[in-house]
Chains A and B, each alone.
Chain A
């Protein structure tokens, strides 16, 4: 079985986001970049499937050279080889086009990625890739088992979950608890240095969206504290002042 895991390089979840250049660029100063947390779940499950049934795991990112530490970490966690499409991940359609082009060439049984990237939260790429390849996509997947050419999955739905079955190939957007995040060990980190990382040039340059500028949310007004022994007044305030109940 051939598995492709697509990952993003995103600011750490604890990052306080700010912008520069008149609010047209993310201020990267002091920002730690990590593998997208949802992508990390996808990778962890792919590595588990490899350990269980001898799959090969290729990790793919669309990004410039500064995305390489993230992809090396994926190799250290257990991916066999890596591909970096050397381009700014301009928008979801562009990124999906790159993934689909590589998938058409290499015929993966399973294409896994996070349910969404935590920078733009689009959650689009898995659907667009699957559409481009003419195969099903499922998201968000919280459980995945493979037997032969059948995938058994659990997907989260509003207020619950559903179990699904489908034949490979599939594109899946993953989330917890599909697997536990893996932390690379020393042996993994050493072996990652010699695992193949292929850099390829992008195909096409179609984008359908551009960001004109960014903005930070307005700060909330000062908090109004209510003494605990007068908790009931909160309900009055929510009714008469905030008018939400």
Chain B
């Protein structure tokens, strides 16, 4: 009857979004009067695994088979399904990511589980199992009843504010039988930006649009992002023009973000762009056009030239 949380690693460390998932799962477990168990696949230090306890997991199942060292959504989904069976878990929690999204779907099929794909609050267990989810790309919410015996909650970033304790989790080796069929994909090449803050994980995002006039001008965006330890993002036209890579494109057909702070420079704010960013806690818009529709959806606005304003903001952050 326990709650199971899939914990994703990044270079051997528990990802920040997974810390949130553990905390969220532990809260659900508390309401259900049960315990929270984390499941981790791939290589990790025992001390890092035990740290799952800081966020509320009492136990960590560690699937350390060398075949799992490379992230593999299908194999990981099989590991989590096996863990759910072993633990008799009726709720599985994951933090949304490119890996977890693919896993959640396979898991829903494997466990015949009802999946809330964009949960944004703790579930209400007072009458059945209901959870608030984000739909229409952030333009609306649905109160979704999960009616199957097993429930999967894939949570968006910033669904819950985490708290830490000094607790440690007990770590158990977990060695489910692996299925050859899960290893049919061959990764032939990986390109990944290193050293940068990953956009879906970022608490702060500095985004820019066509108002920057060309890719050669992105230095002022990167400078502000660096000063803030923020991720950089862009609008769809900028990614379509190849000024910036596609994985930085936020909006209806790009990445959906929900950071604490989203700064938009030189982006007019088409409804498709707003859809991807409107669950951000605080939105700042900088645009030289006072009529830019984005100002209507912003918390703070500056009508001004981005080439003047961005460097001044960077200096002000550096002076803090």
Cα-based distance from A16 to B296 in the complex (angstroms):
15
Chain A's interface: helix, strand, loop or mixed, by majority?
A: mixed
Is A13 a contact partner of B298 (Cβ separation < 8 A)?
A: no
> Which B88-144 residues sit within 8 Å CB-CB of chain A?
97-99, 101-102, 104-106, 108-110, 112-118, 130, 132, 134-144
**Shortest Cβ gap from A164 to chain B (Å):** 5
Partner-contacting stretch, out of A43-51, A70-78, A135-143, A184-192: A135-143
| A84 contacts the other chain (CB 8 A) | no
| B147 contacts the other chain (CB 8 A) | yes
Is A226 a contact partner of B300 (Cβ separation < 8 A)?
A: yes
Is B301 a contact partner of A132 (Cβ separation < 8 A)?
A: no
Is B304 a contact partner of A228 (Cβ separation < 8 A)?
A: yes
Q: Could you name 20 residue pairs across A and B whose Cβ atoms are closer than 8 Å?
A: A13-B271, A93-B109, A121-B256, A130-B109, A158-B199, A160-B193, A161-B190, A163-B187, A164-B185, A164-B188, A165-B185, A167-B184, A208-B108, A217-B139, A223-B285, A223-B295, A231-B304, A234-B284, A234-B302, A245-B261
Partner-contacting stretch, out of A53-61, A101-109, A196-204, A236-244: A236-244
**Shortest Cβ gap from B293 to chain A (Å):** 12
Q: Count of chain A residues with Cβ under 8 Å from any Cβ of B?
A: 81
| B260 contacts the other chain (CB 8 A) | yes
- Given A38-B253, A164-B186, A238-B284, are A131 and B117 also a contact pair (CB < 8 Å)? no
**Shortest Cβ gap from A8 to chain B (Å):** 13
> Which A92-129 residues sit within 8 Å CB-CB of chain B?
92-93, 96, 118-129
- Given A123-B117, A164-B187, A244-B260, are A217 and B104 also a contact pair (CB < 8 Å)? no
> Which B269-298 residues sit within 8 Å CB-CB of chain A?
271-272, 275, 278-279, 281-285, 295-298
Cβ contacts B166-193/A at 8 Å (1 or 0 each): 0000000000000001001111111111
Cα-based distance from A103 to B314 in the complex (angstroms):
55
- Of all chain B residues, which has the CB nearest A14? B271
Return chain B residues, CB-CB under 8 Å to A129.
109
| B32 contacts the other chain (CB 8 A) | no
Cα-based distance from A139 to B295 in the complex (angstroms):
34
Is A217 a contact partner of B144 (Cβ separation < 8 A)?
A: no
Is A237 a contact partner of B320 (Cβ separation < 8 A)?
A: no
Is B115 a contact partner of A124 (Cβ separation < 8 A)?
A: yes
Cα-based distance from A57 to B147 in the complex (angstroms):
35
Q: Count of chain B residues with Cβ under 8 Å from any Cβ of A?
A: 92
Return chain B residues, CB-CB under 8 Å to A159.
192-193, 196, 198-199, 247
| B20 contacts the other chain (CB 8 A) | no
Is B108 a contact partner of A127 (Cβ separation < 8 A)?
A: yes
Is B106 a contact partner of A131 (Cβ separation < 8 A)?
A: yes
Cα-based distance from A212 to B127 in the complex (angstroms):
12
Is B303 a contact partner of A228 (Cβ separation < 8 A)?
A: yes
Is B144 a contact partner of A212 (Cβ separation < 8 A)?
A: yes
- Given A37-B252, A136-B185, A214-B142, are A157 and B98 also a contact pair (CB < 8 Å)? yes
- Given A17-B136, A209-B115, are A245 and B193 also a contact pair (CB < 8 Å)? no
Is B253 a contact partner of A37 (Cβ separation < 8 A)?
A: yes
Is B199 a contact partner of A136 (Cβ separation < 8 A)?
A: no
Is B200 a contact partner of A158 (Cβ separation < 8 A)?
A: yes
* With A123-B105, A242-B299 already in contact, 17 other A-B pairs whose C-beta atoms are closer than 8 Å: A121-B134, A127-B108, A155-B98, A164-B186, A209-B114, A213-B143, A214-B135, A224-B300, A225-B302, A231-B304, A231-B308, A231-B313, A236-B316, A242-B300, A244-B204, A244-B261, A245-B204
Is B105 a contact partner of A211 (Cβ separation < 8 A)?
A: no
**Shortest Cβ gap from A64 to chain B (Å):** 19
| B145 contacts the other chain (CB 8 A) | yes
Return chain A residues, CB-CB under 8 Å to B253.
13, 37-38, 175-176
Cα-based distance from A13 to B108 in the complex (angstroms):
27
Cα-based distance from A131 to B106 in the complex (angstroms):
6
Is B188 a contact partner of A163 (Cβ separation < 8 A)?
A: yes
Which of B132, B256, B285, B300 has the most chain A CB atoms inside 10 A of its CB? B300
| A216 contacts the other chain (CB 8 A) | yes
**Shortest Cβ gap from B191 to chain A (Å):** 5
Which of B138, B145, B196 has the most chain A CB atoms inside 10 A of its CB? B145
**Shortest Cβ gap from A98 to chain B (Å):** 14
Return chain A residues, CB-CB under 8 Å to B145.
209-212
**Shortest Cβ gap from B238 to chain A (Å):** 14
